[in-house]
Amino acid sequence: MVTKRAQAWGFDLIIAAVIAISGLIIVYAYINNIAQKESPRFDDLKKDAERLAVLLLEEGIPENWTRENVVKIGITTNNKIDERKLEEFYNISQTDYSIVKKMFRINSNYFINFTEPIIINQNYVQGIGLEPVNPQQIIKATRFVVYKGKPTTIRVIIWE
């Protein structure tokens, strides 16, 4: 007598494998979809932080810009923080925060501070921009620069 039990068992194995592989594909697609939803905004914030850090440490346009003629904000002269430009940047940020965001082409909020105290008009300033308050996401970029003759770290914080 010949029985065909092995053939039925093989068919059950194939169906189980198809179900398991389908489940893995669904889980992978779900995880991949979640990662794609969160990643672009994080990447945008990171690019904004890097862009702001780089552009800020340039000389700006024109080279000796003022509030009236600024095309591009930059706070250095000869690779050192120019205190006059820093003061102008601070004043513009205080009065026209959204204009500064447009000039730097960033959509998120920014806050900039140094490891050395920032002195503007003989007053200590905590930082330039809006301090993060209950941020949903926050990114920090750091750069080294000379401020008042000392090596200083500038921290550029982008947040929303």
Query: Could you read off the pLDDT of 64-87 as tens digits, one per residue?
Result: 898 889 899 999 999 899 999 999
> Looking at residue 85, what is its pLDDT?
94
Domain-embedded: residue 141: yes
> Looking at residue 157, what is its pLDDT?
92
Give the tens place of pLDDT for each residue, 9-18: 677 788 888 9
Domain-embedded: residue 105: yes
pLDDT over 70 at 136, yes or no: yes
Domain-embedded: residue 33: no
Domain-embedded: residue 122: yes
Tell me 133's DSSP state. Answer: S
The alpha carbon of residue 15 and the mean position of all alpha carbons in its chain are separated, in whole angstroms, by: 48
| Cross-strand bridge partners of residue 80 | 77, 146
Domain-embedded: residue 143: yes
Average predicted confidence (pLDDT) for the chain: 86
Longest CA–CA span in the chain (Å) reads 104
> Looking at residue 92, what is its pLDDT?
93
Task: From 130, 109, 127, select the one nearest 119 (Cα to Cα).
Answer: 127
Q: Count CB atoms within 10 A of the CB of residue 139.
A: 20
pLDDT band at 39 (very low <50, low <70, confident <90, very high): low
> Computed over its alpha carbons, how large is the radius of gyration of the chain?
27
- How far is residue 20's CA from residue 18's CA, in Å, rounded to a whole number? 6
> Looking at residue 32, what is its pLDDT?
75
Q: How many domains does the chain have?
A: 1
Residue 76, Ramachandran bin (φ over 0: left; ψ between -120 and 50: alpha; else beta): beta
Domain-embedded: residue 140: yes
- Structural domain that includes position 71: 48-159
- How far is residue 100's CA from residue 102's CA, in Å, rounded to a whole number? 5
Residue tagged 């979640």 (tokens): 34
- Do residues 143 and 53 touch, judged by C-beta distance below 8 A? yes
Q: pTM higher than 0.75 for the full model?
A: no
